[in-house]
Structure 1
Amino acid sequence: MRTTPRSAQSSGRPGSGAVRRRCGCRPAGRRPSRVGCSRRRWRSMILDTFATPAVWVLLEEAALHRAVGEPRVMVEQIRPMVRLMEASRVWVHVMPYRIGAYPPLQSMLTLMYFEDEPPIACSESSQVGRLHDFPTVVTRLQAIHDLALSDALSLTESLVPLRAIAEDYERHD
Protein backbone atom coordinates (compact mmCIF):
# COMPACT_ATOMS: atom_id res chain seq x y z
CA MET A 1 0.00 0.00 0.00
CA ARG A 2 1.39 3.35 -0.95
CA THR A 3 -0.32 5.69 1.50
CA THR A 4 -2.79 5.17 4.30
CA PRO A 5 -4.26 7.57 6.84
CA ARG A 6 -3.49 6.88 10.44
CA SER A 7 -7.21 7.04 11.22
CA ALA A 8 -7.90 4.24 8.74
CA GLN A 9 -5.25 1.90 10.09
CA SER A 10 -6.40 -1.10 12.08
CA SER A 11 -5.89 -0.90 15.81
CA GLY A 12 -5.65 -4.69 15.96
CA ARG A 13 -2.24 -6.29 16.28
CA PRO A 14 -1.33 -9.80 15.18
CA GLY A 15 -2.74 -12.27 17.66
CA SER A 16 -5.25 -9.82 19.11
CA GLY A 17 -8.96 -10.51 19.24
CA ALA A 18 -9.58 -7.65 16.80
CA VAL A 19 -7.51 -9.36 14.13
CA ARG A 20 -9.15 -12.75 14.73
CA ARG A 21 -12.64 -11.25 14.44
CA ARG A 22 -11.70 -9.30 11.32
CA CYS A 23 -10.52 -12.53 9.70
CA GLY A 24 -13.77 -14.29 10.58
CA CYS A 25 -12.31 -16.19 13.53
CA ARG A 26 -13.28 -15.53 17.10
CA PRO A 27 -12.76 -17.26 20.44
CA ALA A 28 -15.28 -19.98 21.22
CA GLY A 29 -18.43 -18.67 22.86
CA ARG A 30 -17.88 -15.07 21.69
CA ARG A 31 -20.29 -13.28 19.36
CA PRO A 32 -19.17 -10.83 16.64
CA SER A 33 -18.69 -7.30 17.88
CA ARG A 34 -20.91 -4.53 16.50
CA VAL A 35 -18.18 -2.07 17.53
CA GLY A 36 -15.71 -3.68 15.12
CA CYS A 37 -18.23 -3.49 12.27
CA SER A 38 -18.94 0.18 13.05
CA ARG A 39 -15.24 0.99 12.97
CA ARG A 40 -14.80 -0.75 9.63
CA ARG A 41 -17.73 1.18 8.16
CA TRP A 42 -16.31 4.44 9.53
CA ARG A 43 -12.89 3.69 8.03
CA SER A 44 -14.45 2.81 4.68
CA MET A 45 -16.40 6.10 4.70
CA ILE A 46 -13.07 7.94 4.78
CA LEU A 47 -12.51 6.81 1.19
CA ASP A 48 -15.92 8.15 0.13
CA THR A 49 -15.33 11.73 1.31
CA PHE A 50 -14.03 14.50 -0.93
CA ALA A 51 -10.76 15.18 0.94
CA THR A 52 -9.49 11.63 1.25
CA PRO A 53 -5.93 10.43 1.53
CA ALA A 54 -4.36 8.81 -1.51
CA VAL A 55 -4.45 5.03 -1.26
CA TRP A 56 -2.28 3.16 -3.72
CA VAL A 57 -2.29 -0.63 -3.38
CA LEU A 58 -0.06 -3.29 -4.88
CA LEU A 59 -2.15 -6.44 -4.48
CA GLU A 60 -0.86 -9.92 -5.15
CA GLU A 61 -3.19 -11.92 -7.42
CA ALA A 62 -2.96 -14.90 -5.06
CA ALA A 63 -4.58 -12.83 -2.30
CA LEU A 64 -7.69 -12.51 -4.47
CA HIS A 65 -7.95 -16.28 -4.91
CA ARG A 66 -7.26 -17.08 -1.25
CA ALA A 67 -10.79 -17.17 0.18
CA VAL A 68 -11.10 -15.78 3.67
CA GLY A 69 -14.65 -16.63 4.63
CA GLU A 70 -17.52 -17.58 2.35
CA PRO A 71 -17.63 -16.52 -1.31
CA ARG A 72 -20.14 -13.80 -0.33
CA VAL A 73 -17.52 -12.29 2.01
CA MET A 74 -14.95 -12.18 -0.77
CA VAL A 75 -17.43 -10.47 -3.11
CA GLU A 76 -18.18 -7.93 -0.36
CA GLN A 77 -14.45 -7.18 -0.19
CA ILE A 78 -13.67 -7.05 -3.92
CA ARG A 79 -16.74 -5.21 -5.29
CA PRO A 80 -16.23 -2.03 -3.18
CA MET A 81 -12.57 -2.01 -4.19
CA VAL A 82 -13.62 -2.07 -7.86
CA ARG A 83 -16.19 0.68 -7.22
CA LEU A 84 -13.56 2.87 -5.52
CA MET A 85 -11.14 2.24 -8.39
CA GLU A 86 -13.76 3.18 -10.99
CA ALA A 87 -14.42 6.41 -9.03
CA SER A 88 -10.66 7.12 -8.89
CA ARG A 89 -10.74 7.05 -5.07
CA VAL A 90 -8.09 4.32 -4.79
CA TRP A 91 -5.47 2.93 -7.15
CA VAL A 92 -5.05 -0.85 -7.09
CA HIS A 93 -2.42 -2.61 -9.17
CA VAL A 94 -2.63 -6.41 -9.27
CA MET A 95 0.67 -8.30 -9.28
CA PRO A 96 -0.03 -11.23 -11.65
CA TYR A 97 1.04 -14.81 -10.97
CA ARG A 98 3.32 -14.81 -14.02
CA ILE A 99 5.77 -12.42 -12.28
CA GLY A 100 6.63 -15.06 -9.69
CA ALA A 101 8.55 -14.02 -6.58
CA TYR A 102 9.28 -10.34 -6.02
CA PRO A 103 10.91 -8.56 -3.02
CA PRO A 104 7.79 -7.19 -1.22
CA LEU A 105 6.18 -10.66 -1.41
CA GLN A 106 7.79 -11.55 1.92
CA SER A 107 5.80 -9.01 3.94
CA MET A 108 3.33 -6.17 3.78
CA LEU A 109 4.81 -2.74 3.16
CA THR A 110 3.01 0.51 3.93
CA LEU A 111 4.54 3.78 2.75
CA MET A 112 3.09 6.93 4.30
CA TYR A 113 3.60 10.48 3.05
CA PHE A 114 2.64 13.60 4.95
CA GLU A 115 2.43 17.27 4.02
CA ASP A 116 4.46 18.52 6.97
CA GLU A 117 6.67 15.56 7.94
CA PRO A 118 9.11 13.23 6.18
CA PRO A 119 7.76 9.93 4.82
CA ILE A 120 7.78 6.79 6.94
CA ALA A 121 7.43 3.10 6.12
CA CYS A 122 5.98 0.19 8.02
CA SER A 123 6.90 -3.39 7.18
CA GLU A 124 4.85 -6.24 8.61
CA SER A 125 5.07 -10.00 8.51
CA SER A 126 3.00 -12.63 10.28
CA GLN A 127 4.93 -12.26 13.51
CA VAL A 128 6.34 -8.74 13.65
CA GLY A 129 5.82 -5.21 12.40
CA ARG A 130 8.39 -2.46 12.24
CA LEU A 131 8.13 1.28 11.71
CA HIS A 132 10.94 2.80 9.65
CA ASP A 133 11.64 6.52 9.80
CA PHE A 134 15.35 6.62 8.96
CA PRO A 135 15.50 8.42 5.56
CA THR A 136 17.87 6.00 3.81
CA VAL A 137 15.79 2.98 4.87
CA VAL A 138 12.56 4.64 3.75
CA THR A 139 14.14 5.57 0.41
CA ARG A 140 15.33 1.97 -0.12
CA LEU A 141 11.85 0.60 0.70
CA GLN A 142 10.27 3.14 -1.68
CA ALA A 143 12.61 1.93 -4.45
CA ILE A 144 11.71 -1.71 -3.76
CA HIS A 145 8.01 -0.84 -3.92
CA ASP A 146 8.40 1.21 -7.11
CA LEU A 147 10.34 -1.59 -8.81
CA ALA A 148 7.62 -4.11 -7.89
CA LEU A 149 4.93 -1.69 -9.06
CA SER A 150 6.60 -1.53 -12.47
CA ASP A 151 5.91 -5.29 -12.89
CA ALA A 152 2.26 -5.06 -11.81
CA LEU A 153 -0.74 -4.67 -14.08
CA SER A 154 -1.88 -1.15 -14.95
CA LEU A 155 -4.97 0.25 -13.24
CA THR A 156 -7.16 -0.60 -16.23
CA GLU A 157 -5.66 -4.08 -16.60
CA SER A 158 -6.08 -4.70 -12.85
CA LEU A 159 -9.85 -4.20 -13.08
CA VAL A 160 -10.12 -7.28 -15.34
CA PRO A 161 -9.00 -9.92 -12.79
CA LEU A 162 -10.74 -8.09 -9.94
CA ARG A 163 -14.09 -8.22 -11.74
CA ALA A 164 -13.56 -11.78 -13.01
CA ILE A 165 -12.63 -13.12 -9.58
CA ALA A 166 -15.61 -11.37 -7.94
CA GLU A 167 -17.91 -12.91 -10.58
CA ASP A 168 -16.37 -16.32 -9.95
CA TYR A 169 -17.06 -15.98 -6.20
CA GLU A 170 -20.65 -14.89 -6.99
CA ARG A 171 -21.20 -18.06 -9.07
CA HIS A 172 -20.02 -20.21 -6.15
CA ASP A 173 -22.13 -18.45 -3.53
Structure 2
Amino acid sequence: MVNINTLDPGASPLDYYGFELRRCREAAGLTQRQLGEIVNYTGSLIGQIETARKLPSLEFSERVDVALGTGGLLTRLVPLVMRSQLPTWFREVAELEVRAVEICSFQTHMVLGLLQTPAYARAVLGAVNRSKLDDRTAVRLARQQVFEKEEPPVFWAVLSEAALHLEIGDRETMRGQLAHLLTFEDNPRINIQVLPFSVGSHAGLTGAFDLYRFASDPTILYTETYGSGHPTANPETVKDCSLRYDHLQAAALSLKDSAELIRRVMEDRYGEQVA
Protein backbone atom coordinates (compact mmCIF):
# COMPACT_ATOMS: atom_id res chain seq x y z
CA MET A 1 0.00 0.00 0.00
CA VAL A 2 1.23 3.49 -0.85
CA ASN A 3 1.98 5.68 2.17
CA ILE A 4 0.48 9.14 1.58
CA ASN A 5 3.24 10.71 3.68
CA THR A 6 5.86 9.48 1.21
CA LEU A 7 3.82 9.85 -1.97
CA ASP A 8 6.09 11.41 -4.60
CA PRO A 9 4.13 13.90 -6.75
CA GLY A 10 6.77 13.58 -9.43
CA ALA A 11 6.44 9.80 -9.75
CA SER A 12 3.52 9.89 -12.16
CA PRO A 13 0.52 12.04 -13.14
CA LEU A 14 -1.66 9.83 -10.91
CA ASP A 15 0.63 10.45 -7.92
CA TYR A 16 0.62 14.17 -8.67
CA TYR A 17 -3.19 14.19 -8.80
CA GLY A 18 -3.38 12.41 -5.43
CA PHE A 19 -0.87 14.80 -3.90
CA GLU A 20 -2.81 17.85 -5.11
CA LEU A 21 -6.14 16.42 -3.98
CA ARG A 22 -4.80 15.88 -0.48
CA ARG A 23 -3.14 19.32 -0.40
CA CYS A 24 -6.34 21.11 -1.47
CA ARG A 25 -8.50 19.06 0.92
CA GLU A 26 -6.28 19.78 3.89
CA ALA A 27 -6.08 23.47 2.97
CA ALA A 28 -9.88 23.54 3.18
CA GLY A 29 -9.73 21.95 6.64
CA LEU A 30 -11.71 18.86 5.63
CA THR A 31 -11.22 15.20 6.42
CA GLN A 32 -11.64 12.59 3.71
CA ARG A 33 -15.02 11.65 5.16
CA GLN A 34 -16.21 15.26 5.28
CA LEU A 35 -15.19 15.91 1.69
CA GLY A 36 -16.86 12.67 0.65
CA GLU A 37 -20.12 13.77 2.22
CA ILE A 38 -19.99 17.07 0.31
CA VAL A 39 -19.31 15.51 -3.11
CA ASN A 40 -21.39 12.35 -2.54
CA TYR A 41 -18.49 9.90 -2.64
CA THR A 42 -17.11 7.74 0.17
CA GLY A 43 -14.20 8.91 2.26
CA SER A 44 -12.59 5.57 1.44
CA LEU A 45 -12.65 6.37 -2.28
CA ILE A 46 -11.08 9.76 -1.66
CA GLY A 47 -8.36 8.03 0.36
CA GLN A 48 -7.70 5.58 -2.47
CA ILE A 49 -7.40 8.41 -4.99
CA GLU A 50 -5.13 10.41 -2.68
CA THR A 51 -2.82 7.40 -2.40
CA ALA A 52 -2.77 6.78 -6.16
CA ARG A 53 -4.59 3.45 -5.82
CA LYS A 54 -7.70 4.51 -7.73
CA LEU A 55 -8.23 6.52 -10.91
CA PRO A 56 -10.25 9.73 -10.53
CA SER A 57 -13.20 10.16 -12.88
CA LEU A 58 -14.03 13.41 -14.64
CA GLU A 59 -17.26 13.72 -12.66
CA PHE A 60 -15.43 13.21 -9.36
CA SER A 61 -12.85 15.83 -10.29
CA GLU A 62 -15.46 18.39 -11.29
CA ARG A 63 -17.35 17.93 -8.02
CA VAL A 64 -14.22 18.22 -5.90
CA ASP A 65 -13.04 21.31 -7.81
CA VAL A 66 -16.33 23.01 -7.00
CA ALA A 67 -16.30 21.87 -3.37
CA LEU A 68 -12.72 22.99 -2.74
CA GLY A 69 -12.71 26.03 -5.00
CA THR A 70 -9.62 24.88 -6.89
CA GLY A 71 -10.43 26.75 -10.10
CA GLY A 72 -10.67 23.53 -12.10
CA LEU A 73 -7.20 22.25 -11.18
CA LEU A 74 -8.15 18.60 -10.77
CA THR A 75 -10.41 18.55 -13.82
CA ARG A 76 -7.55 19.82 -15.95
CA LEU A 77 -5.32 17.02 -14.66
CA VAL A 78 -7.72 14.21 -15.62
CA PRO A 79 -6.70 13.90 -19.32
CA LEU A 80 -3.03 13.75 -18.31
CA VAL A 81 -3.76 11.11 -15.68
CA MET A 82 -5.80 9.01 -18.09
CA ARG A 83 -3.22 9.14 -20.88
CA SER A 84 -0.52 8.07 -18.42
CA GLN A 85 -2.50 4.88 -17.74
CA LEU A 86 -2.50 3.78 -21.37
CA PRO A 87 -0.07 1.03 -22.40
CA THR A 88 3.34 2.62 -22.99
CA TRP A 89 3.31 1.74 -26.67
CA PHE A 90 -0.08 3.46 -27.15
CA ARG A 91 0.63 6.77 -25.41
CA GLU A 92 2.08 8.35 -28.52
CA VAL A 93 -1.18 7.62 -30.33
CA ALA A 94 -3.16 9.41 -27.63
CA GLU A 95 -0.91 12.43 -28.12
CA LEU A 96 -1.46 12.27 -31.88
CA GLU A 97 -5.23 12.24 -31.34
CA VAL A 98 -5.00 15.39 -29.23
CA ARG A 99 -2.78 17.27 -31.70
CA ALA A 100 -4.37 16.21 -35.00
CA VAL A 101 -6.62 18.50 -37.02
CA GLU A 102 -7.91 15.52 -39.02
CA ILE A 103 -8.04 11.81 -38.24
CA CYS A 104 -8.84 9.16 -40.86
CA SER A 105 -9.43 5.63 -39.60
CA PHE A 106 -10.12 2.32 -41.33
CA GLN A 107 -11.31 -0.59 -39.19
CA THR A 108 -11.81 -4.13 -40.40
CA HIS A 109 -13.85 -5.88 -37.71
CA MET A 110 -14.83 -3.64 -34.80
CA VAL A 111 -15.80 -0.08 -33.93
CA LEU A 112 -12.71 1.94 -33.04
CA GLY A 113 -12.07 3.20 -29.52
CA LEU A 114 -12.93 6.86 -30.15
CA LEU A 115 -16.49 5.84 -31.05
CA GLN A 116 -17.07 3.02 -28.55
CA THR A 117 -19.79 3.01 -25.89
CA PRO A 118 -18.85 2.05 -22.30
CA ALA A 119 -20.45 -1.40 -22.62
CA TYR A 120 -18.79 -2.12 -25.98
CA ALA A 121 -15.38 -0.89 -24.77
CA ARG A 122 -15.68 -3.07 -21.68
CA ALA A 123 -16.52 -6.12 -23.79
CA VAL A 124 -13.55 -5.50 -26.10
CA LEU A 125 -11.06 -4.91 -23.30
CA GLY A 126 -12.34 -7.83 -21.25
CA ALA A 127 -12.24 -10.42 -24.02
CA VAL A 128 -8.96 -11.87 -22.72
CA ASN A 129 -7.94 -9.85 -19.67
CA ARG A 130 -10.50 -8.73 -17.08
CA SER A 131 -8.06 -7.28 -14.54
CA LYS A 132 -8.72 -3.66 -13.58
CA LEU A 133 -11.43 -3.65 -16.24
CA ASP A 134 -13.29 -0.63 -14.84
CA ASP A 135 -10.14 1.50 -14.86
CA ARG A 136 -9.03 0.34 -18.30
CA THR A 137 -12.48 1.08 -19.72
CA ALA A 138 -12.47 4.56 -18.16
CA VAL A 139 -9.03 5.25 -19.64
CA ARG A 140 -10.18 4.27 -23.13
CA LEU A 141 -13.35 6.35 -22.93
CA ALA A 142 -11.40 9.36 -21.67
CA ARG A 143 -9.74 9.59 -25.10
CA GLN A 144 -13.11 10.61 -26.52
CA GLN A 145 -12.76 13.98 -24.78
CA VAL A 146 -10.76 15.01 -27.84
CA PHE A 147 -14.15 15.69 -29.45
CA GLU A 148 -14.98 18.15 -26.65
CA LYS A 149 -12.07 20.45 -27.49
CA GLU A 150 -12.82 24.00 -28.63
CA GLU A 151 -11.45 22.96 -32.03
CA PRO A 152 -11.96 19.19 -32.26
CA PRO A 153 -10.39 17.27 -35.14
CA VAL A 154 -12.36 16.42 -38.25
CA PHE A 155 -12.84 12.68 -37.98
CA TRP A 156 -13.43 10.22 -40.80
CA ALA A 157 -14.11 6.55 -40.09
CA VAL A 158 -14.52 3.81 -42.66
CA LEU A 159 -15.85 0.66 -41.00
CA SER A 160 -16.07 -2.70 -42.67
CA GLU A 161 -19.64 -4.00 -42.56
CA ALA A 162 -18.18 -6.86 -40.51
CA ALA A 163 -17.90 -4.45 -37.58
CA LEU A 164 -21.69 -4.15 -37.55
CA HIS A 165 -22.24 -7.91 -37.45
CA LEU A 166 -19.51 -9.17 -35.11
CA GLU A 167 -21.46 -9.46 -31.85
CA ILE A 168 -19.12 -8.02 -29.25
CA GLY A 169 -20.67 -8.23 -25.79
CA ASP A 170 -24.33 -9.14 -26.20
CA ARG A 171 -27.25 -8.03 -28.34
CA GLU A 172 -28.03 -5.08 -26.06
CA THR A 173 -24.40 -3.96 -26.18
CA MET A 174 -24.38 -4.08 -29.98
CA ARG A 175 -27.70 -2.31 -30.30
CA GLY A 176 -26.43 0.45 -28.02
CA GLN A 177 -23.17 0.71 -29.98
CA LEU A 178 -24.89 1.02 -33.35
CA ALA A 179 -27.37 3.52 -31.92
CA HIS A 180 -24.39 5.52 -30.68
CA LEU A 181 -22.91 5.62 -34.18
CA LEU A 182 -26.18 7.07 -35.46
CA THR A 183 -25.96 9.98 -33.00
CA PHE A 184 -23.20 11.44 -35.20
CA GLU A 185 -25.39 11.64 -38.32
CA ASP A 186 -25.71 15.42 -38.15
CA ASN A 187 -22.22 16.14 -36.84
CA PRO A 188 -20.08 17.44 -39.73
CA ARG A 189 -16.88 16.78 -37.78
CA ILE A 190 -17.53 13.07 -37.16
CA ASN A 191 -18.21 11.17 -40.37
CA ILE A 192 -18.88 7.44 -40.54
CA GLN A 193 -18.93 5.39 -43.73
CA VAL A 194 -19.53 1.66 -44.02
CA LEU A 195 -17.62 -0.49 -46.51
CA PRO A 196 -20.26 -3.07 -47.52
CA PHE A 197 -19.60 -6.77 -48.00
CA SER A 198 -20.69 -6.39 -51.63
CA VAL A 199 -17.51 -4.43 -52.45
CA GLY A 200 -15.48 -7.63 -52.43
CA SER A 201 -11.70 -7.09 -52.66
CA HIS A 202 -10.67 -3.58 -51.60
CA ALA A 203 -7.71 -1.36 -50.75
CA GLY A 204 -7.80 -2.23 -47.03
CA LEU A 205 -7.39 -5.99 -47.20
CA THR A 206 -3.97 -5.78 -45.54
CA GLY A 207 -5.51 -4.46 -42.32
CA ALA A 208 -6.68 -1.51 -40.25
CA PHE A 209 -4.77 1.77 -40.15
CA ASP A 210 -5.11 5.39 -39.05
CA LEU A 211 -3.86 8.64 -40.56
CA TYR A 212 -3.22 11.69 -38.38
CA ARG A 213 -2.95 15.04 -40.13
CA PHE A 214 -1.68 18.22 -38.50
CA ALA A 215 -1.70 21.94 -39.17
CA SER A 216 2.03 22.12 -39.90
CA ASP A 217 3.68 18.76 -39.12
CA PRO A 218 3.93 15.78 -41.51
CA THR A 219 1.08 13.26 -41.60
CA ILE A 220 1.57 10.19 -39.38
CA LEU A 221 0.43 6.70 -40.34
CA TYR A 222 -0.36 4.34 -37.47
CA THR A 223 -0.76 0.58 -37.65
CA GLU A 224 -1.02 -1.92 -34.83
CA THR A 225 -0.14 -5.51 -34.02
CA TYR A 226 -0.52 -7.52 -30.81
CA GLY A 227 0.89 -5.47 -27.96
CA SER A 228 2.65 -2.89 -30.12
CA GLY A 229 1.94 0.12 -32.29
CA HIS A 230 3.83 1.39 -35.31
CA PRO A 231 3.62 5.12 -36.10
CA THR A 232 5.59 6.37 -39.11
CA ALA A 233 6.03 9.59 -41.04
CA ASN A 234 7.82 7.88 -43.95
CA PRO A 235 6.61 9.91 -46.96
CA GLU A 236 6.23 6.95 -49.32
CA THR A 237 4.38 4.81 -46.79
CA VAL A 238 2.08 7.69 -45.81
CA LYS A 239 1.43 8.48 -49.50
CA ASP A 240 0.55 4.86 -50.22
CA CYS A 241 -1.90 4.57 -47.32
CA SER A 242 -3.42 7.98 -48.05
CA LEU A 243 -4.21 6.71 -51.55
CA ARG A 244 -5.60 3.51 -50.09
CA TYR A 245 -7.84 5.56 -47.81
CA ASP A 246 -9.12 7.59 -50.77
CA HIS A 247 -10.06 4.34 -52.51
CA LEU A 248 -11.74 2.99 -49.37
CA GLN A 249 -13.85 6.12 -49.04
CA ALA A 250 -14.80 5.94 -52.72
CA ALA A 251 -15.83 2.28 -52.38
CA ALA A 252 -17.73 2.82 -49.12
CA LEU A 253 -21.37 3.84 -48.90
CA SER A 254 -22.22 7.52 -48.64
CA LEU A 255 -22.72 9.00 -45.19
CA LYS A 256 -26.50 8.81 -45.63
CA ASP A 257 -26.53 5.27 -46.98
CA SER A 258 -24.08 4.17 -44.29
CA ALA A 259 -26.43 5.47 -41.58
CA GLU A 260 -29.32 3.63 -43.21
CA LEU A 261 -27.36 0.36 -43.24
CA ILE A 262 -26.32 0.81 -39.59
CA ARG A 263 -29.96 1.47 -38.68
CA ARG A 264 -31.14 -1.58 -40.63
CA VAL A 265 -28.60 -3.93 -39.04
CA MET A 266 -29.40 -2.50 -35.61
CA GLU A 267 -33.10 -3.26 -36.03
CA ASP A 268 -32.90 -6.53 -37.97
CA ARG A 269 -30.01 -8.16 -36.10
CA TYR A 270 -30.17 -6.60 -32.66
CA GLY A 271 -33.75 -5.38 -32.36
CA GLU A 272 -36.39 -6.63 -29.97
CA GLN A 273 -37.22 -10.28 -30.51
CA VAL A 274 -40.75 -11.58 -30.20
CA ALA A 275 -40.92 -14.91 -28.42
Give the TM-score category using the shorter length. 0.7 to 0.9
Deviation, structure 1 residue 58: 0.8
Give the Cα separation in 1 of the matches to 2:166 and 2:125: 12
Give the Cα separation in 2 of the matches to 1:73 and 1:157: 23
Q: Which runs of 5+ in 2 are unaligned?
A: 1-95, 101-111, 114-120
* Mapping of residues 18-167 of structure 1, within 5 Å: 22-27=124-129, 30=130, 33-125=133-225, 129-167=229-267
Counterpart amino acid of residue 5 in structure 1:
E
Q: CA RMSD in A?
A: 3.0
Give the Cα separation in 1 of the matches to 2:229 and 2:137: 24
Greater fraction of residues in helix:
2
Note if contact 2:208-2:223 (Cα within 8 Å) is conserved in structure 1.
yes
Identity %: 25
Distance change in 2, residues 1:124/1:58 (3 Å): same
Note if contact 2:179-2:266 (Cα within 8 Å) is conserved in structure 1.
yes
Note if contact 1:107-1:124 (Cα within 8 Å) is conserved in structure 2.
no
The answer to whether structure 1 residue 5 and structure 2 residue 97 are counterparts is: yes
Give the Cα separation in 2 of the matches to 1:7 and 1:79: 28
Count the aligned residue pairs.
Answer: 160
Which SS does the other structure have where 2:205 is aligned? helix
The answer to whether structure 1 residue 171 and structure 2 residue 272 are counterparts is: yes
Deviation, structure 1 residue 123: 2.3
Note if contact 2:97-2:146 (Cα within 8 Å) is conserved in structure 1.
no
TM score, norm. by length of structure 1: 0.77
TM score, norm. by length of structure 2: 0.51
Q: Which runs of 5+ in 1 are unaligned?
A: 11-18
Distance change in 2, residues 1:37/1:7 (3 Å): farther
Deviation, structure 1 residue 116: 2.3
Give the Cα separation in 1 of the matches to 2:125 and 2:217: 33
Deviation, structure 1 residue 109: 1.1
Larger RCO (CA within 8 A; separation ≥ 6): 1
Deviation, structure 1 residue 55: 1.2
Q: Give the structure with higher Rg (CA).
A: 2
Instruction: Find the counterpart in structure 2 of residue 14 from structure 1.
Output: none
